[in-house]
Amino acid sequence: MRNRIPPQTTPREGGIFLDSERRHRRVVARLLSSVFAAVLAAATAAPAQAVYNGSRADSDDYAWAAKVQLAYPEGIASCTGSLIKEDVVVTAAHCISNNGRSPSAIDVTFHFGQKRSAYTVGVTRAVASPHYNPALIKDDIALLFLQSAVSEPTVQLASTPAPVGEEVTVAGYGCTGDPFNAAEPCDPARRLMETQLTTVPAESCPDIAGPWQFCTFSPHTTANRGDSGGPVVWSDHGEQKLVGVTNAIELPPSPAYLNLSASIPYELDWIKATAGLR
């Protein structure tokens, strides 16, 4: 069973936030995860220790990373994104569509957690892939168009997928703690966190249904709630490239920890055409 990495959420006073839907294709059942008054409790992406068992990321290496906050009637959802153009951030489609609804407002913060350099920019338009299918976690990728251009460096997009057996780095802002342990509270990371995973064959993740995703594994570390939309970075001949966007994790009884990520190379044509990239 897999669960879309739900955005981390902070409910407004008196409100609750529904978790993303969990689906198990082998049972063909459509279920809603539990409702929590404090945070979304769907196990998927988010930085545990800004990624479970991760470490603090070097802010100079991730000047293009952004914390994404989305206002829904029930509360504020939180995801992660990457700056790919001076006014465009890429994130996960399920962040901008919760149970078929769109947020009333979105903003992104660069250098989150760094008092002297942090700043926030509003989003004027959010566009999900036209082929996004939440039931299959298909084309789970979206672009956020900023109100104004920023001067941060952009991350380079990978045109080829990372080979099986390669180490990739996952980064994000999200919950700390083990996503397999529902009893652990969602303590949001104060700074961007990162961890290393290994690419494995697609068949290792039972819920991957096509080439729009790839699978990564670690026996002791993973993305967590709030890491949705966050970067998966691969060193391609010494060049750091964005090769994926965090989507989900496989739930037990699958081996810990299998992560599902949207493939940037697979989505590259749509990203370039929509963002106006050459």
pLDDT in tens, 60-100: 899 999 999 999 988 899 999 999 999 999 999 999 998 78
195-233 burial string, b = 16+ CB within 10 Å, else e?
Answer: bebebbeeebbbbbbeebbbbbbbeebbbbbbbbbbbbb
Nearest alpha carbon to residue 91 among 106, 72, 76: 106
**Is 96 in the same domain as 8?**
yes
**Is 171 in the same domain as 233?**
yes
Nearest alpha carbon to residue 146 among 90, 102, 98: 90
Residue where a domain stops, chosen among 86, 112, 146? 146
pLDDT in tens, 221-254: 999 988 999 999 999 989 999 999 999 999 888 8
**Is 138 in the same domain as 174?**
no
Question: Domain limits at 123?
Answer: 2-42+63-146
The sign of the dihedral angle between the CA atoms of 84, 85, 86, 87 is negative
Residue where a domain stops, chosen among 105, 127, 146? 146
**Is 38 in the same domain as 160?**
no
Residue 184 domain-assigned (yes or no): yes
Quick one: 250 exposed, middle or buried, by C-beta within 10 A (0-12, 13-18, 19+)? buried
Ramachandran class of 53: left when φ > 0, alpha when ψ lies in -120 to 50, beta otherwise: left
Q: pTM for the complete prediction? A: 0.85
User: What is the number of structural domains in the chain?
Assistant: 2
Mean pLDDT of 188-209: 92
CATH value at residue 197: 2.40.10.10
Residue 21 domain-assigned (yes or no): yes
**Is 121 in the same domain as 166?**
no
